[in-house]
């Protein structure tokens, strides 16, 4: 089979690999679509482990089922999580499934940017979902990223009536904008430095979209009865955005660190200015749990047309270099989907 080996954001090589063998309880999946995630282009995070086959936002058809698999058979259309929690450890029992050691070490092989993947038994049992007939393979690649956004908004305790500032309107920012509106946010303000993305932010529900270079926290007061934002969501790794977030969050508000940052990012914060007598919170969220995946699946099924609008590129496996170029440059693209069978 063909697979794309990642060396760097500008060096991906199509290679031949044997189709993975499967054992008891495992599945062989034929990958139909795989989204490129913002974390796939985090070069510094990958550089010590290259070459490797990336790709975790997959939708697929069951090509082979190992002995003892029940619940799935050849021909089923599925979505599969690469990371699954054990549901039994201290963290899982306390609702923090995404910091579970099992979740951090599970994965499918070799990765979604290949024609086939082997799904280990634990992933089959705890992280594989049958797709509704009407949900396309391309839309189904949103299950994982949307699940991460759902979890993050729960951590940030987003509630109806709030004012939300989203810094960075790439695909993660757009998912946050859409979901915040779905949850009843009164006002969503989107920032970016790219006109194309600002226009998309409006299209997906942002009440106001502003060029980040001209934004000042005082702008929030003008549209929000004198108050700053109840929740600020960081969907960019630009270091300056962190201080913008601190300056834009209202008393008792929350700053959500969503996008992964650069390797050496540190923050300078004035404890007194940010916290004294203000009850502000800084929170982070990583990955998603099976409950989040199921909720994402329900939202996608009901709103497929909205997610279609977020897909800007569908690229055959051999063109994956272009896909990584687009996502790492972060300009006129949103969701970029690789089609491993093409």
Closest to Zn ion by CB, 85 vs 127, is: 85
- Give 29: exposed, middle or buried? Use CB within 10 Å, 0-12, 13-18, 19+: buried
322 binds Zn ion (CB under 5 A): no
Q: Does 99 bind Zn ion (CB under 5 A)?
A: no
Among 83-91, 116-124, 172-180, 246-254, the segment contacting Zn ion (CB under 5 A):
83-91
Q: Cβ atoms within 10 A of the Cβ of 275, count?
A: 13
Which single residue is written with the structure tokens 């303000």? 189
Stretches 89-97, 110-118, 126-134, 176-184: which one binds Zn ion (CB under 5 A)?
89-97
Stretch that binds Zn ion, among 36-44, 210-218, 255-263, 324-332 (CB under 5 A): 36-44
Pair of tokens at residue 3: 């697979």
Minimum Å distance from CB 260 to Zn ion? 10
| Count of residues that bind Zn ion according to CB under 5 A | 6
- 100, 158, 175, 315: which one binds Zn ion (CB under 5 A): 100
Q: Which stretch binds Zn ion (CB under 5 A): 35-43, 47-55, 75-83, 118-126?
A: 35-43
With respect to Zn ion, which residue has the nearer C-beta, 89 or 182? 89
| CA 229 from centre of chain | 23
Q: 263, exposed or middle or buried, with CB in 10 Å at 0-12, 13-18, 19+?
A: exposed
Q: How many CB atoms lie under 10 A from the CB of residue 276?
A: 10
Exactly one of 86, 99, 126, 283 binds Zn ion (CB under 5 A); that residue is 86
Q: Name the residue nearer to Zn ion (CB basis): 102 or 244.
A: 102
In the complex, minimum distance from the CB of residue 35 to Zn ion, in angstroms, rounded to a whole number: 8
Among 31, 54, 65, 92, binds Zn ion (CB under 5 A): 92
Per DSSP, 317 falls in state: G
31 token code pair: 């990958």
Nearest approach, Cβ of 227 to Zn ion (angstroms)? Answer: 33
Q: How far is the CB of 290 from Zn ion (least distance, A)?
A: 12
19 binds Zn ion (CB under 5 A): no
Query: Which segments within the chain are labelled E, that is strand?
Result: 2-8, 11-16, 27-35, 57-65, 77-80, 116-119, 128-130, 163-167, 187-192, 208-211, 229-234, 249-257, 281-284, 311-316, 335-339
89 binds Zn ion (CB under 5 A): yes
Strand partners, 255: 232, 282
Identify the bridge partners of residue 33 per DSSP, sorted by sequence position.
59
- Quick check: 122 binds Zn ion (CB under 5 A)? no
């Amino acid at each position: 089979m063909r697979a794309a080996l990642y060396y760097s954001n500008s060096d991906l090589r199509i290679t031949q690999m044997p189709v993975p063998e499967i054992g008891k309880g495992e599945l062989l999946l034929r990958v139909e679509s795989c989204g490129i995630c913002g974390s796939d282009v985090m070069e510094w995070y990958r550089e010590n482990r290259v070459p490797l086959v990336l790709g975790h936002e997959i939708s697929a058809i069951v090509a082979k089922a190992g002995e003892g698999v029940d619940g799935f058979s050849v021909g089923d259309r599925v979505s599969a999580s690469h990371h699954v929690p054990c549901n039994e450890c201290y963290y899982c029992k306390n609702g923090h499934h995404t910091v579970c050691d099992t979740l951090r070490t599970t994965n499918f092989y070799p990765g979604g940017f290949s024609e086939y993947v082997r799904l280990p038994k634990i992933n089959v049992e705890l992280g594989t979902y049958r797709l509704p007939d009407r949900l396309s393979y391309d839309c189904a690649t949103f299950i994982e990223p949307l699940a991460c956004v759902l979890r993050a908004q729960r951590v940030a305790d987003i509630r109806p009536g709030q004012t939300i500032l989203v810094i960075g309107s790439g695909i993660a920012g757009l998912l946050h904008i859409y979901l915040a509106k779905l949850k009843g946010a009164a006002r969503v303000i989107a920032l970016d430095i790219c006109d194309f993305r600002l226009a998309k932010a409006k299209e997906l529900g942002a009440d106001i979209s502003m060029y980040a270079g001209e934004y000042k926290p005082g702008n929030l007061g003008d549209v929000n009865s004198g108050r700053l934002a109840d929740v600020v969501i960081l969907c960019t790794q630009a270091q300056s955005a962190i201080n913008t977030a601190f300056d834009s969050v209202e008393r008792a508000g929350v700053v959500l660190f969503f996008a992964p940052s650069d390797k050496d990012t540190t923050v300078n914060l004035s404890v007194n200015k940010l916290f004294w007598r203000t009850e502000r919170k800084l929170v982070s969220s990583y990955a998603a749990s099976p409950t989040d995946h199921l909720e994402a699946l329900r939202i996608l099924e009901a709103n497929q047309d909205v997610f279609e609008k977020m897909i800007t590129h569908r690229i055959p496996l051999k063109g994956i270099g272009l896909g990584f170029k687009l996502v790492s440059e972060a300009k006129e693209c949103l969701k970029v989907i690789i089609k491993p069978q093409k």
